[in-house]
Amino acid sequence: MLETNFAGIKMRNPTVLASGILGTGSDLMQRVVEEGGAGAVTMKSIGPEERMGHANPSVIEWEHGMLNAVGLPSPGYENMEEEWEGLSKRNYPLIASIYGASIEEFVLVAKNVAKKKPEAIEINISCPNTKEHGQIFGVNEDASIEVVSAVKKEIGDISLIAKLTPQAYNIAAIAAACEKAGANAICAINTVAGMVIDIDARRPVLFNRFGGVSGPAIKPVGIKCVYQIFDAVKIPILGMGGISNGRDAIEFIQAGATTVGIGSGVLYSGFDVFKKVCNEMENWMKANKVESLEEIRGVAHG
Ligand SMILES: Cc1cc2nc3c(=O)[nH]c(=O)nc-3n(C[C@H](O)[C@H](O)[C@H](O)COP(=O)(O)O)c2cc1C
């Protein structure tokens, strides 16, 4: 009932572990599939060199979601042999996420990660381009086209997923630009920039002051972005932002998503959230006489 084909990847169900939630190690990836029931997993974004990330507090929970400024900590693509060795024995679809501060860095990481043959490579273009004075790649159509086509050239047959930021003025135009440049799928959304102040301490709560909002607070933002992207592209969409139950997942599918990512929901509810979401999706489908997700994909467009 829930089997899904996503950009050429066969999945037993449409749930995907979002990037950055459980690191890059094979043990946790295996557990989230076996015990948790995820249909596919995304690794934490891998960068060109080792990076420590921001000082603590870097992740906090507030009334309606989470706020994080982990700062893309990464072991660097050259220091991951042990992880890749473990991951090479996997029997589930693996999405490797990469980032860079320039096109050259994206290409370098993509070339090396592609040698490990993940089922897909997700490019996190929600990070700033240092050559463009810190402007985020994914808010600019030309920069998005440049990075997608350069990475696609390196990775050949491996599916390329472009992960977009809701901070783009016109996310549908960015998605269309990525499709034109050779992306095989779109992932939306990454976190939304935000800040929380502790009024008693009279200071921002995060050490980095600003961070990315995720969880229930951003679900309407994710739904709106997926809805607009669905109208603009033919390639499939991995929708995410605040999914924690079956109804949230069905809502994303009705907006136009083919697969659904869960990030903060894992931190709130544990690995089991994937099984729970799948069971609730199936129950909703049975109650509504829906036999396949195909029947309801994008139906909210009328
Ligand atoms: C602690 C934390 C770390 C994250 N790290 C990454 C990352 O390395 N790469 C990335 O593309 N997205 C990262 N994200 C964003 C998530 O993959 C996801 O797009 C976002 O949190 C929205 O989904 P959610 O509401 O289900 O968490 C991170 C999110 C959180 C909460």
pLDDT above 80 for 133? no
DSSP string, 45-85: PB-SS-B--PPSP-EEEETTEEEE-----B--GGG-HHHHH
Task: Please name the amino acid found at residue 78.
Answer: E
Q: Give nearest CA residue, ligand 1 atom 31.
A: 264
Residue 13 — pLDDT band, cuts 50, 70, 90? very high
CA-to-CA separations, 227 to 178, 187, 238, 299, in angstroms, rounded: 17, 12, 12, 10
Share of the chain above pLDDT 90, in %: 88
User: Which ligand 1 atom lies nearest to the CA of residue 244?
Assistant: 26
Cis amide prior to 57 (ω within 30 degrees):
yes
- Phi and psi at 9, nearest 5°, equal -100, 125
The span from the CA of 268 to the CA of 289, in Å, is 31
Q: Is residue 187 pLDDT above 90, yes or no?
A: yes
For residue 268, pLDDT beyond 80: yes
Query: What confidence tens digit (pLDDT) does each residue in 90-102 have?
Result: 999 999 999 999 9
Q: How many helices (H) and strands (E) does the chain have?
A: 9, 18
Rounded to the nearest angstrom, the distance between the alpha carbon of 289 and the centre of ligand 1 is 33
User: Whole-angstrom distance between the N-terminal and C-terminal Cα of the chain?
Assistant: 23
Tokens of 154: 């390196």
Structure tokens at 147: 């990075």
The answer, yes or no, to whether the previous bond of 189 is cis (omega within 30 of 0) is yes
List the residue whose alpha carbon is closest to atom 22 of ligand 1: 241
Q: What local confidence, expressed as pLDDT, does residue 53 receive?
A: 83
Distance (angstroms) between ligand 1 centre and the Cα of 33 equals 18
CA–centroid distance for 171 within its chain: 15
Q: What angle (nearest 5°) sits at the alpha carbon of residue 111, between those of residues 110 and 117?
A: 85
Residue 173 structure tokens: 């135009």
Neighbouring residues of 40: CB distance < 8 A, sequence distance ≥ 6: 6, 9, 11, 15, 16, 17, 92, 93, 94, 95, 119, 259
Element (DSSP H or E) covering residue 146:
helix 141-155
Per-residue confidence (pLDDT) for residue 186, from 0 to 100: 98
Distance CA 42, CA 21 (A): 9
- Position 265, amino acid: G
Strand pairing of 40-42 and 94-98? parallel
- What is d(CA 222, CA 91) in angstroms, rounded to the nearest whole number? 30
**Cα–Cα distance measured from residue 275 to residue 235, given in angstroms and rounded to the nearest whole number:** 26
Q: DSSP class of residue 259?
A: E
Contact 19, 28 (CB under 8 A): no
- Which has the closest alpha carbon to 58: 231, 191, 147, 202? 191
Stretch among 65-74, 231-240, 284-293 having the lowest mean pLDDT: 65-74
Rounded distance from Cα 217 to ligand 1 centre (Å): 14
Choose one of 15, 17, 19 to mutate for the ligand 1 pocket test, by most ligand atoms within 8 angstroms of C-beta: 19
pLDDT at 120: 98
Cα 44 → chain centroid: 9
Give distance in angstroms: CA of 291 to centre of ligand 1: 31
Alpha-carbon distances of 114 from 13, 154, 158, 214, rounded to whole Å: 25, 8, 7, 29
Q: Is 127 a catalytic residue?
A: yes
Residues in the ligand 1 pocket, defined by CB under 6 Å: 18-20, 44-45, 59, 66, 68, 70, 72, 97, 124, 163, 190-191, 214-215, 218, 240-243, 262-265
Domain covering 4-301: architecture: Alpha-Beta Barrel (3.20)
Which residue's CA is minimally distant from atom 18 of ligand 1?
190
Residue nearest to atom 29 of ligand 1 (CA): 20
What is the overall mean pLDDT for the chain? 95
Which residue out of 127, 178, 187, 278 is catalytically annotated?
127
CA of 288 to the centre of ligand 1 (A): 32
Atom of ligand 1 nearest to the CA of 267: 31
SS3 state at 265: helix
Write down the domain spans for the chain. 4-301
pLDDT at residue 54, as a whole number: 87
- How many whole angstroms separate alpha carbon 211 and alpha carbon 198? 14
Q: What is the pLDDT of residues 213-245, one digit of tens each?
A: 999 999 999 999 999 999 999 999 999 999 999
Ligand 1 midpoint to CA 19 (Å) = 5
Q: Please give the Cα distance from 222 to 220 (Å, whole number).
A: 5
Which atom belonging to ligand 1 lies closest to the Cα atom of 45? Answer: 8
pLDDT at 176 over 90: yes
What pTM does this model have? 0.97
Whose C-alpha lies nearest to ligand 1, atom 4?
20
Ligand 1, atom 15, lies closest to the CA of 190
The per-residue pLDDT for range 112-124, each reduced to its tens digit, is 999 999 999 999 9
Averaged pLDDT for residues 159-188: 97
Give the mean pLDDT of 173-201: 97
**Residue 23: pLDDT band by 50, 70, 90 thresholds?**
confident
Split at pLDDT 50, 70, 90, the class of 201 is very high
What residues are paired with 122 via a beta bridge?
A: 97, 161
